[in-house]
Amino acid sequence: MMIWLLLLSSVPLSLMPSLPVQASAADLARYRVLGPATRVEREQVVATGAEIEAFGATGLDVLATPAQAIAIERLGFQVHKRPSSLASGEVDPAYHTYAEMVTAVEQIAVAYPNIVQLFSIGRSYEGRNLLAARISDNPTIDEAEPEALFVGMYHAREPLSGEMILDLLRMLTAGYDPNQPEAAITRLVNEREIILVFMLNPDGREYDIETGFYRYWRKNRQPDPMLEGINGTDPNRNHSYRWGGLGASSNPFSETYRGIAPRSAPEVAAIEDFVISRVISGTQQIRVAISFHTYGALVLWPYGHQGVAECGLPAADMFNIDRAVFRQLGREMARLINYTPLQSCELYQTNGDFSDWAYGTQRIFAFTFEMYPAIDQVGFGDGFYPPGSVIERETQRVRPAVLYLLEQAECPYALVAATPTRCAAVNWKIWIPHLRHEQ
Ligand code: 0X9
Ligand code: CA
Ligand code: CA
Ligand code: ZN
């Protein structure tokens, strides 16, 4: 308990979560809050200690204690308790378990050896392989082609995000026809190197479903050295760019716990090291990326770390031209699939998320997608576990955005500059900030 108080004493009161006693977890319930539409209003809701789970045009979905729900009502917002739409909370077998995902991916890889190579980027805390695929012509050879990275399931209770990566593997393999080199998918497979990471957080996923009833588990399964029991680290708050700011929690019981140190989660260290390994002769090979999450039907781009006062203003460490590219890419991808485009910090502040790290340290045009449903579509039901019947529709819905991003990976600057000289191969070097700062 004393350790606990010490940990909390460094957190500003307004951000302190409701008292973090494990026993109180039973009091937590899910609420729909109608009214908060601005960033400032959302901050007021967060200040009650409630945790935001999703956003929409009409309000928020939060996880809160009854006392927090009352505090939110006092702010002048409408609060409705959300009954789960899952009849029983029973795990839906239509979604792949970790083992089923590995099998499904291996089967496809065996069928398409000419364009798919499987590898592992490392191991999870509990030792599971973090399975990845590289898709390209000559997949075992590192060619001079723009690389693109797609990652699923940072968060355990977001299984649609893992299905999304499997769908991309299916799209790129079934759609490949060497006899039609001009067809879009064939051309992109030939001219890009596409890296898929299927489940970044397999331990959390297995824990979420192991009883047969969803646990709504979000984080990884890493114990905190200071505490008894496994509390888990939020992998999407543990990245090593601006780790430790206000947009993550220092409370090990929080759903957005940042971990004891930057990249203390083995899953996060693994993906950072993999991405860094793609720097060849000072040039980051990966130009575009998407980290898939649920839910909200949103396309988000960096930075998320900017606070209310700075959000929307240029950041010191983002080139103006990159800011314009992010906006163009984000808006067009959202338009193609009928999602809502936003800069991440317009939702809420985050420190240590994947896309901030990937752009902030590697100059990758990295996005976060919050997949189906939009909160307005989910009613008062449950957005994290949509029925298996929507998997195919909602993963295929996202394909045009992915294909567009792959297309633009050749020269994203062409979108905003008349003469995209920055895309000359030699210019990719200057994107790595420690090599040269310009503009
Ligand atoms: O909070 C997150 O990690 C992501 N949302 S989720 O509900 N899937 O957990 C969003 C991360 C993007 N960054 C910001 N919105 N600032
Ligand atoms: Ca190739
Ligand atoms: Ca390459
Ligand atoms: Zn998520």
For 155-209, write each residue's pLDDT tens digit. Answer: 999 999 999 999 999 999 999 999 999 999 999 999 999 999 999 999 999 999 9
Q: 255 and 287 in contact (C-beta within 8 Å)?
A: no
List, for residues 1-22, the tens digit of each pLDDT value. Answer: 223 233 333 333 333 333 333 3
Q: Angle 184-191/399-408 helices, nearest 10 degrees?
A: 50
What's the one-letter identity of residue 90?
A: E
Contact 186, 201 (CB under 8 A): no
Contact 185, 172 (CB under 8 A): yes
- Whether pLDDT at 83 is above 90: no
Residue with CA nearest ligand 1 atom 4: 293
The mean pLDDT of the chain is: 88
For residue 348, the ligand 1 atom closest to its alpha carbon is 16
**Residue 412 CA: distances (Å) to CA of 111, 127, 186:** 33, 37, 20
Residue 196 pLDDT: 99
Whether residue 107 is predicted with pLDDT greater than 80 in this model: the reply is yes
Closest CA to 151 of 74, 228, 223, 235: 235
pLDDT tens-digit series, residues 224-270: 887 888 889 999 999 999 999 999 999 998 999 999 999 999 999 99
Mean pLDDT of 327-352: 96
Kindly give the distance from the C-alpha atom of residue 425 to the centroid of ligand 1, in angstroms, as a whole number.
33
pLDDT in tens, 120-143: 999 999 999 999 999 999 999 999
Q: What is the mean pLDDT of residues 351-357?
A: 98
Q: Which residues surround ligand 3, an ion (CB under 5 A)?
A: 142, 193, 285
Query: How far is C-alpha 316 from the chain's CA centre?
Result: 24
Region 52-71: what's the mean pLDDT?
84
What local confidence, expressed as pLDDT, does residue 436 receive? 38
pLDDT in tens, 359-403: 999 999 999 999 999 877 776 557 899 999 999 999 999 999 999
How close is the Cα of 146 to the center of ligand 1, in Å? 27
Residues annotated as part of the active site: 370
Nearest to 258 by CA among 225, 294, 219, 288: 219
DSSP per-residue letters across 68-124:
HHHHHHHTT-EEEE---SSSS-B--TTSPPHHHHHHHHHHHHHH-TTTEEEEEEEE-
Ligand at minimal distance from the CA of 201 is: 4
Whole-number Å distance, alpha carbon 144 to ligand 3 midpoint, is: 5
Q: Whose CA is nearest to atom 15 of ligand 1?
A: 344
In the reported structure, the alpha carbon of residue 371 is separated from the centroid of ligand 4 by a whole-number distance in angstroms of: 10
- State how far the Cα of 404 lies from the Cα of 419, in Å rounded to an integer: 20
Q: Is 38 exposed, middle or buried (0-12, 13-18, 19+ CB in 10 A)?
A: exposed
pLDDT over threshold 50, residue 438: no
pLDDT value of residue 25: 59
Q: Which of 54-63, 69-78, 210-219 has the lowest mean pLDDT?
A: 54-63
Instruction: Show the ligand 1 pocket: residues with CB < 6 angstroms.
Output: 53-54, 155, 158, 236, 293, 300, 304, 344-345, 347-348, 350, 353, 368, 370
Which is the closest atom of ligand 1 to the Cα of 236? 3
- Could you tell me if residue 122 is left (phi over 0), alpha (psi between -120 and 50 degrees) or otherwise beta? left
Do residues 130 and 162 lie in contact, with contact meaning Cβ atoms separated by under 8 Å? no
